[in-house]
Amino acid sequence: MKKTALNSIHKELGAKMVEFAGWEMPVQYESARKEHLAVRASAGLFDVSHMGEIEIRGKDAIGFCQWITTNDVNKVSNFQAQYTLLCNCEGGVVDDIIIYKFSDELFLFCVNASNSAKDYEWIKKEEKNFDVEVVDKSADYSQIAIQGPDSKTILSDGIRADLDKIKKFRFEVINWEGRDLIVARTGYTGEDGFEVFLPWDGAPSLWNRLMEVGNEHGVKSCGLGARDTLRIEMGYSLYGHEIDEDINPLQAGLDRYVKMDSDNFIGKEVLSKALDEGLSQKLVGFEMIDRGIPRQGYSIFKNGAFLGHVTSGTLSPSLEKSIGLGYLSSNVEGDDRIQIQIRDTVREAEIVSIPFYNREIN
């Protein structure tokens, strides 16, 4: 297994380590629930160095990025980030990514760990028709995420920088201790927070600094367990669960990131046809009424008729109730009651709006 630059620190902190996408990663330290609640209440620190980074540079960079992604790259300003998708020719999702624009001729893609090699090869194949260079930079970067309402205070103090000017989905390059940090106001938790890209060997220094500064705020080291429950509460898709190469982004409820009125992109024609013909399935959120935790792969029924499968589920630490995401046949009618088959029993659930968690309400 590959190891991040923070591997020894995780073990010193007593983290439970697991294999994830070929990496040895911390799944939890004290407990996933406590780490989750720390992010909602104050701040949590995540090692996300397993994520991949791909650089696109050259005079055709804008046109190239527009061709391979579904969102409208033409509307992205310098030092702005954009959530978008890579789709195949059949309209399925190759990956969901965030792109960071430095200039008209330089973009950085952050891709999912499980898809890093696949994404690079897929993007590289499209390079020949454009004046661009596609470079896999994954080995160059560590990445640390700090998330939660106190994250700005902790990171500002930690790197001695004014972060108020970095608005949501914006980023800046900030020099700290002789290293250039790409500090982006992005995240995967639904909370305010930052993701910091930095030279690979700089991660231990930054991690220790943020833990030291964040101690008075109750910051906690957080693993993959809390990262998953936080994203489920927000209804965020995870590759291999809500999205994959056989599911199109319209079915996944990601249509706002698919700009059909922008320039042509891979899969656009198929997605346009899917809109005209109607979608065969749709992603929904649900809360359990009966006891039980829904898990990926569990069957969903309505009045005895099979509708689809659960894609993600958990006992929500913030809401203290079981919640899940799943695909249903798009022709479902009637009330919002459904049934989840949990092992040998069928349990009642109710379709609800996404996100499950709303800071202003909860």
Tens of pLDDT, residue by residue over 239-252, are 999 999 999 999 99
Tell me what pLDDT residue 334 has. Answer: 61
Tell me the average pLDDT across 303-327: 96
105 plus 244 within the same structural domain: yes
Q: Are residues 102 and 211 in the same domain?
A: yes
Question: Are both 207 and 330 inside the same structural domain?
Answer: no
222 shares a domain with 80: yes
Residues in CB range of 220: below 8 A, 6 or more apart: 29, 30, 34, 35, 38, 39, 43, 44, 45
Same domain as 189, residue 42 = yes
Structural domain span for residue 356 = 280-362
Dist CA 193 CA 331 (whole Å) = 39
| Domain total of the chain | 2
Question: Once rounded to an integer, what is the mean pLDDT over residues 112-129?
Answer: 96
Residue after which a domain boundary falls, among 225, 242, 277: 277
pLDDT at residue number 360 = 72
Query: Same structural domain for residues 248 and 359?
Result: no
Percent of the chain's residues with pLDDT above 70 = 98
Do 44 and 126 lie in one domain? The reply is yes
Q: Tell me: the pLDDT tens digits for 257-284?
A: 999 998 899 999 999 999 999 999 999 9
The reported pLDDT for the residue numbered 146 is 98
Predicted pLDDT of residue 362: 57
Angstrom distance (rounded) from CA 11 to CA 273 = 51
End residue of a domain, out of 222, 248, 277: 277
Same domain for 52 and 190, yes or no, is yes
Identity of the amino acid at 215: N
Distance of CA 5 to the CA centre of its chain: 21
Average pLDDT, the chain: 96
Type of residue at 137: K
CB-hemisphere CA count at 13 Å for 36?
23
Residue 4's pLDDT is: 98
The reply to whether 189 and 267 lie within a common domain is yes
Nearest to 81 by CA among 167, 161, 151, 181: 167
- Same domain? For 253 and 332 the reply is no
- Token digits for 355? 């996100």
Q: What is the mean pLDDT of residues 311-325?
A: 98
Residues 235 and 301 in one domain: no
Q: Which of 257, 277, 297 is the last residue of a domain?
A: 277
Do the strands 93-103 and 106-111 form a parallel or antiparallel pair, or are they unpaired? antiparallel
Indicate the pTM of the whole model.
Answer: 0.96
Reported as a single tens digit per residue, the pLDDT across 61-104 is 999 999 999 999 999 999 999 999 999 999 999 999 999 999 99
The pLDDT score that the predictor gives to residue 262 is 85
Q: How many residues does the chain have?
A: 362
Pair (130, 208) in one structural domain: yes
pLDDT at 263: 87
